[in-house]
Structure 1
Amino acid sequence: MYISARERQLLEILLTEKEEMTVKDLADKIGVSGRTVHRDLKNIEDILMEYELTLLKKSGVGVQISGSPEKIRQLELFLFNLFHTEYTPDERQTIILCELLETKGPVKLLGLANDLNVTIATVSADLSKLEDKLESFGLSLIRKRGYGVELEGDEAAKRRAMRNLISAYLDESEILSLARENIQKRSTQQTNTISERLLGLVERQKLLIVEKVVDSIIQELPFAMADSAYIGLVVHLALAIERIQKGEGIAINKAYMEDQQSSKEYKFAEKIVAQLEQVFQIEIPEAEVAYITMHLKGAKLRHDNEYLMEESSLQVALKAKHLIDQVEKVVGTDLSANRSLFEGLVMHLKPAMYRVKQGMGISNPLTGKVKKDYPELFSIVKQAAEQVFPEYHVPDEEVGYLVMHFGSAVLGRRELADFKTLVICSSGIGTSKMLVTRLQKEFPELKNVQNVSVMEFKKLKESDYQLVISTIPIPDYKDYIIVSPMLNKDEIEKIRSFINKYKIINSSDRSLPFSSQESLRTKNAKNFIEEMQTVQKYSETIAKLLMGFELVKIRERKTTDEILYQAVQELSRKQTVENIDLVADALKRREQLGGLGVPGTAMALFHARSPGVIQSSFTIYSLENPIITAGMDGSPMEVKFLLLMLSPEEPDEKTLEVLSHLSSLLIESEESTAIFESNDENQIASYLSTRFEQFFTEKIEHLRSV
């Protein structure tokens, strides 16, 4: 059966979309007229008949493929394995780019034309269209008559283009599964799908070996990586090894190298490289270690309680607050009190800002869907991002993730259910939050909803959850409902059916006139002890911070160093600090890393973690003679209130959570800033007590709900 490239495109779109699509929508998606789509749909009906499927047409609504799931799956497999005798222009350009990236030296246009079954003129036109895309990667084409065409650019740019191609066409959940499924295929077998062609950029066996090495090392990381970052790192490393084996090295400047070597991620990059060198019996240059470090820094972190205690973190928090303010003004919804939105944005923005600054880019398979379903919110968030980050070009993929965070907040939350629901997402915290919010909006009875990545799911006991929902296939696991991150009508019905069935099956136990053992909520002794220890750690940290809090007025004219030394001396007398010089040096080093003044305020937050600190503390120094210091935006500013936050070098996770919460209070609102600048110790202490009580209550409620 012959299927044209356009017909194949239309079939793939209709099979992907679970709801009706208008002819106009289809025409817009593939870039043709409505009349052309009408003509192609007639041929598509004949193709569907071969699989006992029909094309439902609803006047004013659209068209949709209808039939048994088994027959639909057969058609999907046929399309996946279809030999592409005809490609769309976009597919042709992708294949041409793959060929140029893989070939050292010029490629003949005639050879490309024969491979693609088109004329040399068509290939030449495709190359012209490719030039703009290549420019964005820092690459260009050398085109000479009789010579052919060759890709010009450094190795780093070529690898960036390869990664971008793979992530643009393959969902992160497909990459490793496709490699595993096809690992046994003979290398001589002709590649006949775009997915296969892209995976041809790196040897499949290599991809899977690299995954094993990375998987063993990331268990030691002090933070968790989302699946998208994990797959991105695996692909990057596999490409790097492939290119090193072909003699293609990467160049890096000395200053950048030294900057990467000073980071904590560098030692993990070294471990990865040491194992890869052993497995592949190759020597990996030091420059490659720096690039792996860059990828670890750019990883989308799911949880990182240190985010507000690390360098530049309060600056990120300020950006998050500014972003919330900008969006809030336009949407007309009060988002300032939404703690979940604020914390989610801070955790996302820190690695995102690093990615944008380094020009790394990110894969977001949902960008198109988000643009389509939330066009107004996408436009609002994009404009807000341009205002908050005028120095950067924020790509639509990053904006898409930000929209998910805001979409989750704008949709709002309702009452939750009494049985446990687990949501598995591959695209990070924004996608998860959007899906969880949609679930809670559609099913108010869902009370306890937890979101995790696939890697985290592997460590959980699935029998603890009554309902498991995933946006991606889970190998070797059957009892779950697979959905799209935006939840369509069919998926909502599927979940509703499951919940109703669960209620009916479990109603007999609930109607008994006596209490069952389950209703007593029997606690495991070990778990209960751990909960109590957690509560104790929160309460101890909060109590010590409140007891140690003090507002000290300094009337003499002093330098910043003199004020800090005096402050540390006083804390030493109170037995909060045991080594004055060590702590003072740590504060100086922190100041040298970047501005500490909070823009738009008269405050500067000096913070450090040092082995010279015995216990965490927070103090404020009111300066009668203001000092001039650098703000977090790099501008000089007048500081009247020097805030000092200290902690031991390796504080536990709960202590970091409390300190992070305290840091965020400084810039939470104009009201909170005014309180910290009030010069009134009692008012500040009272405010801190109120907010810490709220924080502590939320933590206890969370522990009880688990």
Structure 2
Amino acid sequence: MMISNREKSVLKLLSERLHSFLTIHDIAQTLGISSRTVHREMKGVEQTLNDFHLTLSRVPKLGLRIEGSPEDIDAFVQSLNEQHTIDLSDEERKVIILYNLIQSRDPVKLYSLANEIGSSTHTLNKIIEQLEDDLVTYELSIERKRGEGLILEGDEANKRQLLAKIMLEKLDSDSVYSVVEDHFVYHTLNEKHLQGIVDIDRLFNVERLLMDELGTLPYTLTEASYLTLTIHIVLAIERIKQDGHVEIEPDILNELMPTDEFLVSERLTSVLSNIYDLTFNHSEIAFITMHLRGARRRHESTYDNSEIHEQHVNALIDYVENQGFEFKDTEALFKGLNLHLEPAINRLEANIETYNPLTEMIETYDKDLFKAVSTGLKIVFSEYHFPKSEVAYIALHFGGMLKEKHRRSLHVLVVCSSGIGTSRILSNRLKQHFSEITQTTEVSVSHLKSIDLSNYDGMISTVAVDTKYPHITVNPLLPESDAENVKYFLNLQPGIVNERYNTVSEQPLSYKDYDHTVSFIEDSLSLIQNMVIEEKKVTQLERYLAQTLSKHQVIEDEGPFIERLNQRIALQGFALTDYPIAIPHLSDELIKKPQLIITQLTKPLTLKTVDQQAQQVNWLVSMFIPKNSEQGQLMSEVSSLITEHLDDIDQLLNDRVLIENTLKSFFLNKLKQKLMKTE
């Protein structure tokens, strides 16, 4: 069976409560989704249960429960635990459809393609319709042969271009690659489907060989260009193995052969030929050369542009300035454009359209600037047609040099599963990256529906949220690609901060607030004084935390706590990607009082990261608070402190005094606000 991640989560909850009922509301709250979304999943849930001779019992006012024989239930639970989920986006499905059509020389049956992407033939036909615009751009078409199936018609080079373009869209949107010291790190959940399209080991091998050969060029490439070139070369290897070759016109070939890039491509393909036992003809080498000449480059450059080219760049800047835009450093703008436009023109001449993940955001937010740049390019470089992706890249250069008219002050809502831990880490990263973000509020997914979202300038989440309110989902450590997306997302928001953020009025504390304030003091002091710091061997995280919390009278029953913690882990892991630390955290009614536990592991423990990848950790910083507890903010200070010291985490966590003083300082400031009742 093939099921979605969300359907598996619903089934897992039901299978863990075989002797009790769960309401739709209970499921929605636990998974952090809406009740309507749960209702939509029920049809698939019941069908899956039917496959195991089980039924979904519905009892009014009680809820839902799985019914069936013990044997059938055991078989179902075992299968569910072993089940790999499939949650393909339309873009992923497009990649798989195109790959199958490109791979096959014969027509492909509709039902075969539908099965490959895990959908009905009706859904398949809708996705194929969505592909038509892309196909026209690349002079390709899908022909339907009655009784035989579908076949992709068009030039081999165009087929590769289109497949690479959609693959890059998928790779970027799913963060399949991150760049660490110029090398791509693979971390995807859809490994089965990506490996069907491109061999991961081959991708890494080609990438390493490519970097070795490019050292002789007088310029270096951006990380994105490394990825793009690698994808194109790997696709070329796949196609040559199946006797699919590109054809380059003789005059273009003759023009490319004397270039440095052609020599690099020759050396590279010579090595690849020996490794993969195939032959690259001159057209294939020229095809790689065109991509290399069109690759985007880093800031440094040792080559000179022609005087005519420089005149064109100056003319473009003059045109955009005449449209009412002012730039703070036109010399730096000229250098950036001068460096960018040569490979851009090479791409246009080779009919290569580069992928730009920010095109839509730039066109929407910088609408006037985008239009000015687009018109300027048509006038100054009239012999070329710049597609939107290229215009967006060039508009980025202009946008980065615009004089600031005013400094925005933003209040951002930051969402994670529990409202503590990862949300505070993300808040801290956001403030470090963007001076405009002067205030953040951290909340859990389950609290979203009770919040007036109009009070915020944007919502940024570490997990998927089921809301129509504009938001963006990012990794809590905010890698460079996510930071760039946040930059444009925030600019889409209304944005001018309300006066409520700039004015402070003080009111004395009233007698009715006495109990509430005293309770806050007692809980905060208890948290600081009862902090647990220990060195321990841990083999099972859930059992260790349950036993420790039970020992300190934080929870009453270990079983329900372990169940709730496992549900939390299923939504999002606790380990921080690329760092030897995990931050287990939970806010729940099962927790009777706040508890902070810092554990140095005597033996590394393998846990899931926030994006569900396995990683070894040496430290646990575990934070648990009752539902709706004010100590969530106190715990968040620990997360903030950790974020600031990720590179020297061993030194920090061995310093109990520093951690205690951080908590005490925050507590005193918070208490002062309460006593003055600052609003």
Give TM-score, length-normalised by structure 1.
Answer: 0.46
Give TM-score, length-normalised by structure 2.
Answer: 0.48
